[in-house]
Structure 1
Amino acid sequence: MDAIPPTPPSRGTSPQRFASALLGLLQGHIALFAEEFKEQQSHTLSLLVLASMSLLFGLLLVIGLSAALLIVFWESHRLLVISGLCSFYALALLSALIALLQRIRNAPAPFSASLEELTRDREQLLP
């Protein structure tokens, strides 16, 4: 008698295994996307709170210092102080806008880990 090697137990037909593998990949990608979304949301909220507080206290400081300068120089050089303060504020505004535009242009793409994972999977699946 010929000994027939035992065949490994099948887990289903080939299309079923392919669909199962595809669903497994999809589940992993969705979980990664959800985790990155949560992290992005938390990071954005904390940045918003800190930026709002910084803006509020910065404006209060600017108002206080401007008022102090105007009070000190009210009798002698009030117009010079007012025009100097306005020039300083205009330069500060322009520099802040330039820095903001540079950060927006150079910001990393959101969900980059998910996109990299999808690219790796596509490269592995397609010859």
Structure 2
Amino acid sequence: MTISTRPLPARLLAATTAGLLSVGLLAGCSTEDAATPAATASASAEASAAATEAAEVTELTYEGETGRTALDLLLEHDPQAEVSGEGEMAYVTGIGGRTAEDGTEFWGFYVDGEMAEVGAGSFETEDGQQILWKLEKIES
């Protein structure tokens, strides 16, 4: 039997340090790739956040380009935009994964802060114009 002559706090500190070093070495020598579960969890969290953001999209802005319609530019900026009809008769129903609720919402189309008086498929933009799509509530 060995009796230590060190004071109790020093023995406690030495034992704690030895234990922590052992745990660190065992964790570092693990054969399982510890980064994989963390990376998977991180990717899942990012995908979940992206899905949440898509559901909360209420506006989209872009600049006009001379000779191109607001609808063409919308589809370039959001290829998954939902459109009913074609050309001058097109009606935008969804942007950024957010579909307007029938009867209560619509996607409003603004040019330089003013609501457009024609549809996006008819409106030829000009360089420098600010185009804004905004999810609006239908007032009853």
Answer whether TM exceeds 0.5 for this pair.
Answer: no
What's the TM-score once normalised by structure 1's chain length?
Answer: 0.32
What's the TM-score once normalised by structure 2's chain length?
Answer: 0.29
- Larger proportion of strand: 2
- Could you say which structure has the greater relative contact order, defined with CA pairs below 8 angstroms and 6 or more residues apart? 1
